[in-house]
Amino acid sequence: MLKIGCHLSSSKGWEAMGKDALKIGANTFQFFTRNPRGSKAKALNLEDVEKLRKLMEEHHFSQIVAHAPYTLNACSSDEKIREFARQTMKDDLERMEYLPGNYYNFHPGSHVKQGAEKGICQIADLLNEILWEDQKTTVLLETMAGKGTEVGRSFEELNEILKKVDLKEKMGVCMDICHVHDGGYDIVNHLDDVLREFDCVIGLDCLKAIHLNDSKNLMGSRKDRHEKIGEGSIGLEAIERIVKHPLLKGLPFILETPNELDGYEREIRMLRAIE
């Protein structure tokens, strides 16, 4: 059974997200661990988390994805900003232990004027400080479109980070389809080649989740603006090939398309029908 869901709001609590997911035919979902703009996360309601854990077990959910606030920057030139990212991510990972066996996805960061190499070292350093041996969460680096000075614009950059992490078995990659397309990978016409390249550079065993988005812009535009499934420059046929690809089939697919719940429900139904 296809593992598919979408990004959900956590404002009503954790169990409520599980119920929303069920309502729209999802068996996975993604959520922000805290308000991406604000800093403080609400105190964790353990009863609520336990209810979600039970719901997920009962309904055979796949792994879910907690997404770090996208405002964090693990490779800022400002040590205070890096320290904030470190504290926030560490706190998030400790919380995720109450829902063991899931994913924590983050944007590697923007090196600003430091250069990608320096940025890569800072990101790996931060990970080496916050990962621990018996943590139950796998941390995912998201593939980025490469706007501005984003680190993670190529498979090579992600691999450079992974190589420097000591507890590499706690790490993985989340491939954002809009981002790789905008970053210049031709997933529309040459999906097999792109996957082969990913396998050569990083290794497909590191690929743990897919952000399934169409794109408002052309391949290589380095823009990062998501579009509804089938309404952008990637198109429904290419997205069908992705969802049905034997090398991707078992992964959780998370929609981050510009939709409300009803729109997500339609997209999930459509993608389940073609599977």
Contact window for Zn ion (CB under 5 A) among 30-38, 120-128, 194-202, 219-227: 219-227
Binding partner of residue 227 among Zn ion, Fe ion, none, CB cut-off 5 to 8 Å per kind: none
Question: Which residue number, 174 or 206, has a Cβ lying nearer to Zn ion?
Answer: 174
Binding partner of residue 224 among Zn ion, Fe ion, none, CB cut-off 5 to 8 Å per kind: Zn ion
According to the binding rule CB under 5 A, does residue 160 interact with Fe ion?
no
Residue 178: CB minimum distance to Zn ion, A? 6
Span between the terminal Cα atoms of the chain, in Å: 9
**How is residue 169 annotated by DSSP?**
G
| E strand spans, the chain | 4-7, 28-32, 65-67, 103-106, 109-110, 138-142, 150-151, 171-176, 207-212, 214-215, 226-227, 253-255
Residues touching Fe ion: how many (CB under 5 A)? 3
DSSP string covering 106-119? E--EE-TTS-HHHH
Question: Which residue number, 176 or 227, has a Cβ lying nearer to Fe ion?
Answer: 176
Binding partner of residue 111 among Fe ion, Zn ion, none, CB cut-off 5 to 8 Å per kind: none
CA-to-CA separations, 29 to 186, 202, 208, 222, 264, in angstroms, rounded: 26, 25, 14, 26, 11
Q: Which residues ranging from 202 to 221 are in contact with Fe ion (CB under 5 A)?
A: 211
Binding partner of residue 267 among Zn ion, Fe ion, none, CB cut-off 5 to 8 Å per kind: none
Site string for Fe ion, 163-202 (x = CB under 5 A): -------------x--------------------------
Contact window for Zn ion (CB under 5 A) among 10-18, 70-78, 217-225, 230-238: 217-225
According to the binding rule CB under 5 A, does residue 224 interact with Zn ion?
yes
Binding partner of residue 211 among Fe ion, Zn ion, none, CB cut-off 5 to 8 Å per kind: Fe ion
DSSP string covering 46-107? HHHHHHHHHHHHHTT----EEE--TT--TT-SSHHHHHHHHHHHHHHHHHHTTSTT-EEEE-
Q: Is the CB of residue 213 less than 8 Å from the CB of residue 238?
A: no
Which residues sit at the interface with Zn ion, rule CB under 5 A? 224
